[in-house]
Every structure is written in structure tokens, then in C-alpha cells.
Amino acid sequence: MSSTQPAQTTPRRYQLFIDGQFVDAESGKTFKSPNPATGETFAEVAEADKADVDKAVAAARKAFEGKWSKMSARDRGRLLYKLSQLIEEHAGELATLETMDNGKPIKESTYIDLPGVVENFEYFAGWSTKIEGETIPVPGQMFNYTLREPVGVCGQIIPWNFPLLMAAWKLAPALAAGNTVVLKPAEQTPVTAVELGKLIAEAGFPEGVVNIIPGFGETAGAALASHPGIDKIAFTGSTEIGKVIAKAAAENLTKVSLELGGKAPNVIFADADLDQAVNGAMMGIFFNQGQVCCAGSRLFVEAKVKDEFLARFKEKADKIKVGDPMDKATLMGPQVSMEQLNKIKSYVAIAREEGATVFSGGASPELEGAFQNGYFFQPTIFSEVDNTMRVAQEEIFGPVTSVITFDNDDDLLRQANETMYGLSAGIWTRDITRAHRFAKAVKAGVVWINTYNMFNAASPFGGYKQSGYGREMGKHALELYTQVKSVWVDLSGKPIGWFGK
């Protein structure tokens, strides 16, 4: 296989973005971010820790109480829209950097991630002037109204699976509502977040409104979550780390929103259009190398069509091109890191021990040239899975799906809801009554009917149970970044209560 990776002789170098300036970490430390397709160092990045978090929070506080609070909502919206235009102008370059730092296919970076980033900043630019209070008809000669105000300084910790898109999901509503931000990108994929800092500066945001501090979760992330100067923490990542974040924030009673793991049921009924359902199952688990919190990793198939469905599913899965993510024909690139690759391999071994059958895949592909040391894994299908197995209950976060059979609607719903997660679910059926009944009964924040992995900046996203709390995107995201103040005015001019007599 010939490489289409852009030639790179030396690693790219990145600093922290604090108070409108690109600066080294106080400690002088840096860390390496590898290209997952080759294992070679792609970038060397300044490593933030507590001292840098302190600086960033101080800068964000100064901006929040200074220039940013004095800027009109209209001007905030214009800045967000200008940023969306700058991102669109640099979309090609940003997509390439995203693919080289994360490993996702260039087709996905170009046609899914970057358009989604632009869309989110455009959408929330329009909300800046529409965040309103209300009047309440209280009794007596009183006037009561509410103000919806920004929360303040927001700490935002984003994951590595959609680095730039998750930055947009967090930053856009926070800025539209008038907050300032300290953003910590994942240590595995810091590059595009810092590149975004350049465009934020170019767009004309005041210094300190957005601060970007790459670093490790145990140091920079922990310092941010427990910082007394932070008014709100938003985190996207694993349920395990989400619990750590929530505990750290609780010390200061910091507001928290969490978008965490999932183990989504993706349901194939016998009456479904099987060609459509197979494509939906493919999109549900193999998109972004399976590194998706809402991935349809539990594939429930009605028993009477199991064999036919599995045959079609395997045929398509075996044809997926795995390899160079810069090749436009590639459908699956590498996993994000060696750590993630090893995690997937360990779960495959566990599934075999539990008695599941490897129906397709189950190993790393043999690639040539520059990609021999990449973190690749084959699309993998397990059949003969019981819903109680670890492979069916624990989030693998890779291109591994567990096929589980069911006999009727009641059996399905029981199994679908037997999980600690509740982020998403999908159903494939021609029976519209059954589809709506399932959508109502399944415990999940997002339900797709005869489709999968559909998102829009106007539509809320978030989970039930241990998949987190709070909703991102849409008007519901503004609830995460605003607080309500109630104001009472006496219109009578008379003393009130017993003390006025």
C-alpha cells in the first residue's frame, strides 16, 4: 500500500493559548502527539498543569467581568458568526490536521466533522440575541420578571473522538450565552483545538474569553475540575472519568454537565428493510472506527431473520477498506492510540472466553509500509452473544459489535434497557406503531428510527442513567450555560407585611 500521508520531516509545535497569547507551559514541559496511522510523532505540544490552569482561569475571569460582559449580545453573535466563516475558509487544512492527529478517514473529517463545526458556531451565533427573560403574573401590586444571565467562567474538557466538533459543541453555546471558557482538549488529540485558538484570535474575540490548555487529565483536567474559580464544568468522556469530575466539582458546588458513555441497542425487526438495516448497522458501529459514545454496539436482531441479516452484515463488513486515513477510499482508519487498540484486543479476548463467536474480524489487519506500526483493527462482529456478557455490557469504544437475538417486543425491551447506560438507541422496522412504542419505552436520550447517527445543531443530545446529564446542542444547551435571576418590584408604594403597620 502506498502512503498518501502528507510528508512531514519534523513534528509540528504548539503552545498554550492563554489571555489571547500563545505561551509555553509554566513548567516548560511538552508532550508528543503521535499520528495514529503510523505511530510517528505528529506534534509536540506544551503540557499545561495546575499553574497554567490558574493563569487561564484568572484570564477568563478578567475577561468575563471586563470587555466580554460589556459587549452587546449582537456583537457576540457577530463574532461567533465570523469564527464560523473563518473555520469554513480553513476547513481543508483543519480536516487534514484532524485526520493526522486523530486517525479518522479524511472523508469523515471533510464531510462530517468540519461542516458540523461550522454549523454549530453559525447556529449559536443566532441565539446570542434571543436569550430572554420572562414576566410572571404574581398576585397583588407586584411586578416580577426574570433575567437569564451567563454562569461565568466555564471549564470544558473534551474527548479525542471528535476533537474539533466537540470543541464546537461546548464553546458555541457557552460563548453565545456570554460566558468565558477554559478549554482542555484531550491529550491524544490537542492539535485542532489550538489551531482553533488562532482563528478565535483572528476573529477578534477579546483576550481571555477563550483559553486553550492542552494537558493530561490527571493534572490539567483535575486542576480545572476542582478549581474554585470555575463556575461550571462541562465534560464529555467515559462514565468512569465523569464520576471523578463530578466528585471534584462537588467540593466547590460547581455546576456540572456530563456527556458520558453508552452501550446503545440498535434493533433489527424481521419486517425491516434489511438492506437499509444492514447499512444502518454499519453506520452504527463502524463509523469513526467505532469510537463513538452513541455507537450501536449491541445489535439486537429478531431471531427469524438472524441468519439472513448476519450473512449480509458480514459481507459488507468484510469489504470495508481499512488503512491510510488520508486515502479518500478508506472507510476505517486507525484507533486513536495504542492504549485504545490494546483495550479493544483485550475485550475481544474476553468475549471469546465468555463464549461469544467471532463472526467477522477480531484482529488487526496486516498493512504495509508506513502503516505497519499504526493502531488499526478490523471491523469485528460477535455472534452468539448473551446480553449479560461483559462484551455486551461494557463500553469497548471500538469497531466491535455484539449480535443478540430476541423473539418478541417485550423480550427486546427488557434486554435493551438492561444496561447502566442510556445515551442512544436505534430501531429498524416498517411498523410505525412499534417504532414509536419502542421510542417511548427505551431509556435513552436519543432514539433513531430507520436511521442512525443523525445530528443537527438545533437538536438536543444527551443521555439517561449513567450516560450523563444535561443536553448539548439546540436551545437546551443554553440551559447549561445560563442561570435565572428573579426580580421583584413593588408597584403599590405602600408598606408591606406586619412590620409596616
Catalytic residues: 259, 293
Cell of 254: 460547581
Residue 27 CA to residue 293 CA, distance in Å, equals: 34
What's the rounded Cα separation, in Å, for the pair 461 and 299?
A: 21
Nearest to 237 by CA among 197, 204, 189, 300: 189
Distance CA 450, CA 394 (A): 25
Pairing status of strand 464-465 against strand 421-422? antiparallel
Burial degree of 307 (CB within 10 A; 0-12, 13-18, 19+): exposed
3-state helix/strand/coil string of 118-140: HHHHHHHHHHHHHCCCCEECCCC
Closest to 181 in 3D by CA, of 190, 173, 171, 194: 171
Q: Kind and range of the H or E element at 256?
A: strand 255-259
Indicate the residue type of 372: Q
CA distance 203 to 150: 22
426 contacts 267 by C-beta, under 8 angstroms:
yes
- Written as one letter, the residue type at 65 is E
Q: Where are the beta strands (DSSP E) in 317-463?
A: 357-360, 380-383, 400-406, 421-422, 424-428, 446-449
Sign of CA dihedral 309, 311, 316, 318: positive
As a whole number of angstroms, the distance between CA 196 and CA 427 comes to 37
Bridge partner residues of 469 (DSSP): 258
CA distances from 388 to 96, 234, 293, 309, 398 (A): 41, 32, 20, 22, 19
Pairing of strands 180-184, 12-14: unpaired
